[in-house]
Structure 1
């Protein structure tokens, strides 16, 4: 219970502040709070996201950051129209918008930031 009542914050590592700013602020539409020599800091619906500047990004083979959305189809199409490539994976069956429907009914799509970090949207 020590941290159970505290607000969580999220981190993602990037190598280029200019590319990250353009992607997270301008393409994804996140509200930027401030920027310093260490990170770009965004407010994402009350949660702080620190897009941390690191020397070298080693993208992981799994989702590192995701958003729960009301409508996966509309969101995936909006992302695509903004120039974001929805990723396709051979081991899951995705529809024409790149959305996979999980066995429990969640609709999920994945995409990458400029450093190759895997991000997702999910309609639960």
Structure 2
């Protein structure tokens, strides 16, 4: 039943204005609605709801990620907008911060203003 329902993703933030500036202004997501409690973005058919909360505890894993066709171009585009790749000990990442998995998928991680880990992935063909 839920496999056919539209997915809504949630990200908490302690500073909604700062989060909107990042998700809309930096990442280029289309803002659909903004209230004092949340900002709603359209992301290729999925709703991303960034909700204002009192406290955020960033987790040590990816919370939101995007599948991209050209990871090098995407990472350069992000870098031009001030986004820096996260670096992780034990992972061989190239000069752009891209890690290549044993199966050929390529991933880069970065953080939003609240410290949530976000990613872009180019899957091996």
Deviations along 1:68-90, whole A, 9 cap, x unmatched? 00111110111011001111101
RMSD: 0.7
What SS does the corresponding residue of 2:77 show, helix, strand or coil?
Answer: helix
What SS does the corresponding residue of 2:76 show, helix, strand or coil?
Answer: helix
Q: Distance in 1 between matches of 2:8 and 2:37?
A: 16
What SS does the corresponding residue of 1:111 show, helix, strand or coil?
Answer: strand
- By how many angstroms is 1:91 displaced? 1.7
Aligned to 2:89: 90
Deviations along 1:88-119, whole A, 9 cap, x unmatched? 10121000110000111111000000000000
Any runs of at least 4 consecutive aligned residues in structure 1 with deviations exceeding 6 A, and if so which? none
Aligned to 1:54: 53
Structure 2 residues without counterparts, runs of 5 or longer:
none
Q: Distance in 2 between matches of 1:14 and 1:91?
A: 30
Q: Normalization by structure 2: what TM-score?
A: 0.96
- By how many angstroms is 1:37 displaced? 2.2
Aligned to 1:110: 109
Q: Normalization by structure 1: what TM-score?
A: 0.97
Aligned length: 123
Deviations along 1:3-42, whole A, 9 cap, x unmatched? 1111111111111011101100000000000011221100
Structure 1 residues without counterparts, runs of 5 or longer:
none
What SS does the corresponding residue of 2:2 show, helix, strand or coil?
Answer: coil
Give the 5 Å matches for 1:21-40: 21-40=20-39
Aligned to 2:79: 80
Q: Distance in 2 between matches of 1:87 and 1:75?
A: 15
